[in-house]
Amino acid sequence: MELWYTEEHTENAKFSIKVKEQLYSEESEFQKIDFFESEEFGTFFTLDGLMMVNEKDEFIYHDMIVHVPMATNPNIKKVLVIGGGDGGTVRELTRYNTIEQIDMVEIDEQVVRACEKYLPITSSKLQDERVNLYFEDGLAFVKNTDNIYDLIIVDSTDPIGPGEGLFTEEFYNNCSKALSEEGILVNQHESPYYERDAHEMKRAHRKIKRLFPISKVYQFHMPTYPSGHWLFGFASKKFDPIKDIKVEQWNSLELKTKYYNTDLHVGCFALPTYVNEMLESADE
Amino acid sequence: MELWYTEEHTENAKFSIKVKEQLYSEESEFQKIDFFESEEFGTFFTLDGLMMVNEKDEFIYHDMIVHVPMATNPNIKKVLVIGGGDGGTVRELTRYNTIEQIDMVEIDEQVVRACEKYLPITSSKLQDERVNLYFEDGLAFVKNTDNIYDLIIVDSTDPIGPGEGLFTEEFYNNCSKALSEEGILVNQHESPYYERDAHEMKRAHRKIKRLFPISKVYQFHMPTYPSGHWLFGFASKKFDPIKDIKVEQWNSLELKTKYYNTDLHVGCFALPTYVNEMLESADE
């Protein structure tokens, strides 16, 4: 017998992973949660059937979502993570001794509990004493918080299902209000390659660039996401991720990273022409 | 009825494309050649079952294999292309009026003839008057040529089947001899992500870096190749692709490109840390 997990990247293209066994399958209040064990990618989990995190390439995503803003402003002390129930983003953040507070707001506690059981390396720092976990709606949390953060990371699913509110203008606007004058917003920014993903990429960029003086997009290779070409957004009131990168300061921390380095930090903001054109035309 | 083309990226991961119809299927002297029509990727063809070229993302591959060396040395006049039977590399080269001669050596004439029929845009410049087509073994051609080239592009399949000789030390050595003192060698350099591809990437790099004073690797997003993370090698006797890039000169040509631009040219040489480490340890 062979067991294969298949994800439709579009109606006409699909990616399949051979599965050793299904470890977990629950319908939470918000979504369908499945964990699998595989030869190629180790343990992985899906939400509503879409690949979220696997042991083989999660280092890419979490390196890029955390170290790019941290190398731009090493003085970041208070961080808000929206989503990110797997804990990988928090894990990378806790490597900075200079960070004093990490608030993580994940709508679905069941995701966190399952990741603590089945992805112990990814979720290993959720119990760090600087981390405060809130199992709430990120949209409402940001609207109601009196806290001011130096960095907000939107580590969300796609803008369907529980992640939908995290792609609205209201949400980005409340993020802007919850950020200090030196604040940085990094968000999961979809992909330029397949039409539906590109549509969401343009919608997100259009909203964010209206609200932030500096609004850029950077790319990375994420083999298990549709097309393997994925993007994060970098928005800020003050810091430019290329002009303001602190190369020597970041390298002096001697953090061992498998994907991120300060050369790549600069390089990943150089996008293909067709992606630049899509982002520039996002207003239309 | 549904018809799906499936490529095994590894034994445990596969990518599938919904096919409208199979256009062509022949066993040539060298390999199995298949052409398909699809909704997502337009017309595409495979050799021995592996994706080679499709209408949706071929611009990425051909932009990156041609414009990176051409922007590094715009004085390139004589070019040798090994492989590249689809004609996309030649098409991009012919956009430079300053190129005087393009010799293309493709072992399998049947690939060229089928591409002329089913991929007319990709193969559109194979009849350009500067192009000389040789249906020969690239390994023997480079060994026996008295020509001296400014640029050799190895647009090969993987190092199994007819492409195998194009990954040998003998071949790279003969390329070096057939290059002028200003010569540049660009080669299809596999991928760092899946184990088998990474193994070939390291083998190729080990051989090339022994022979050329300058030997670098650059990356791009190729959604239909395994993992979507693909590499080309840039080797040269004189030119450094970053220090010697002629940004203004290349932009003054006003070539419209969908993927390549001079910012990306610099950015694509910044590789993830794990890829750098693999390349550095290639000698071991």
Query: Is the separation of the CB atoms in B77 and B101 below 8 Å?
Result: yes
Provide the token pair at A178: 């919850």
**Chain A partners of B55 at a C-beta cutoff of 8 Å?**
none
Q: pLDDT tens across A88-122, in order?
A: 999 999 999 999 999 999 999 999 999 999 999 99
Q: What is the pLDDT of residue B165?
A: 86
**Is there a catalytic annotation at residue A244?**
no
**Cβ contact B273–A264 (<8 Å):** yes
Q: Which residues of A touch B10 (CB under 8 A)?
A: 40
Residues B34/B119, Cβ–Cβ less than 8 Å = no
Confirm if A224 and B229 have CB atoms less than 8 A apart.
no
Whether residues A134 and A271 fall in one domain: yes
d(CA B187, CA B192): 15
CA distance linking residue A232 with residue B208, whole number of Å:
35
Tell me phi and psi for residue A56, to 5 degrees.
-80, -40
Task: Retrieve residue B30's tokens.
Answer: 């060298």
Tell me, yes or no, whether B189 and B226 share the same domain. Answer: yes
Residues B47, B74 within the same domain? no
H or E element, residue A154: strand A149-155
Q: What CATH number is attached to the domain comprising A112?
A: 3.40.50.150
Q: Cβ(B130)–Cβ(B94) under 8 Å?
A: yes
Q: Which helix (H) or strand (E) holds B72?
A: helix B58-72
Token code pair at residue B250: 């290349």
Residue A161: predicted pLDDT: 79
Query: Both B162 and B97 in a single domain?
Result: yes
Q: Are residues B15 and B128 in the same domain?
A: no
State residue B242's pLDDT score: 98
| Residue reference for tokens 């939470």 | A28
- HSE of B98 in the Cβ direction (CA atoms, 13 Å)? 11
Mark whether A88 and A41 lie in a shared domain: no
**CB pair distance less than 8 Å for A258 and B266:** no
Confidence at residue A284, expressed as pLDDT on a 0 to 100 scale:
57
Most B CBs within 10 A among A221, A255, A276, hence the mutation to make, goes to A221
DSSP state of B184: E
Please tell me whether residue B158 adopts helix, strand or coil conformation. Answer: coil
In a mutational test of the B interface, the residue from A8, A9, A12 whose CB has the highest number of chain B CBs within 10 Å is A12
Residue with tokens 């791009």: B220
Instruction: Name the binding residues of B for S-methyl-5'-thioadenosine.
Output: 31, 106, 137-138, 162
Name the residue in chain A with its Cα closest to that of B265. A270
For B30-56, b/e burial (b = at least 16 CB within 10 A) is bbebbbbebebbebbbbbbebbbbbbb
Cβ-nearest to B273 among A10, A193, A260: A260
Quick one: how far is CA A79 from the chain centroid? 14
pLDDT of residue A222: 98
Q: 3-class DSSP state for residue A132?
A: strand
Using a CB–CB cutoff of 8 Å, tell me whether B16 touches chain A: yes
Overall residue count recorded for chain B in this entry: 284
Same domain, B63 and B172: yes
Shortest Cα distance from A22 to chain B (angstroms)? 15
**Is residue A215 within 8 Å of A208, Cβ to Cβ?**
yes
Q: Say if the Cβ atoms of B273 and A266 lie within 8 Å.
A: no
Residue A277: closest CA among B41, B253, B256: B256
Q: How far is B262 from chain A (nearest CA, A)?
A: 9
User: Based on the structure, what is the number of domains in chain A?
Assistant: 2
Residue A282 pLDDT grade (very low, low, confident, very high; cuts 50, 70, 90): confident
Q: Which pLDDT score is estimated for B154?
A: 97
- Clarify whether residues A35 and A123 are in a common domain: no
Q: A13: which chain B residues are within 8 Å (Cβ-Cβ)?
A: 15-18, 40-41
Q: Tell me the HSE value of A37 on the side-chain side, using a 13 A CA sphere.
A: 6
Residue B102: domain span: 58-283
Asked if residue B239 and residue B168 are part of one domain, the reply reads yes
Q: What is the pLDDT tens value at each position of chain B, 284 positions in all?
A: 999 999 999 999 999 999 999 999 999 999 999 999 999 999 999 999 999 999 999 999 999 999 999 999 999 999 999 999 999 999 999 999 999 999 999 999 999 999 999 999 999 999 999 999 999 999 999 999 999 999 999 999 988 878 888 889 999 999 999 999 999 999 999 999 999 999 999 999 999 999 999 999 999 999 999 999 999 999 999 999 999 999 999 999 999 999 999 999 999 999 999 999 999 998 75
pLDDT of residue A163: 82
Q: What is the CATH number of the domain that holds A49?
A: 2.30.140.10
CB contact under 8 A, A270 and B272: no
Domain boundary among the residues B53, B68, B84 is at B53
Contact B257, B67 (CB under 8 A): yes
Does A124 lie in the same domain as A20? Answer: no
The gap from C-alpha A1 to its chain's centroid, in whole angstroms, comes to 36
Indicate whether this complex's ipTM tops 0.95: yes
A221-277 pLDDT, tens digit each: 999 999 999 999 999 999 999 999 999 999 999 999 999 999 999 999 999 999 999
Q: Cα(A160)–Cα(A154) distance, rounded to whole angstroms?
A: 15
Q: Which residues of chain B lie closer than 8 angstroms to A60, CB-CB?
A: 272
Tokens of B180: 């002028």
Query: Cα angle vertex B54, ends B50, B59, to 5°?
Result: 120
Does the beta-carbon distance from A193 to B257 stay under 8 Å?
A: no
Residue of A3, A4, A6, A16 to mutate, testing the B interface (most B Cβ within 10 Å of its Cβ): A16
Residue A171 and residue A48 in one domain? no
| pLDDT(A283) > 80 | no
Please tell me whether residues B84 and B39 are part of one structural domain: no
Contact yes or no for A270 and B261 at CB 8 A: yes
Roughly how many angstroms between the first and final C-alpha of chain B, as a whole number? 51
pLDDT in tens, A157-212: 988 878 888 889 999 999 999 999 999 999 999 999 999 999 999 999 999 999 99
C-beta atoms surrounding B28 within 10 Å: 16
Q: Give bridge partners of residue A14 from the DSSP assignment.
A: A8, B16
Cross-chain residue pair B18–A15, CB shorter than 8 Å: no
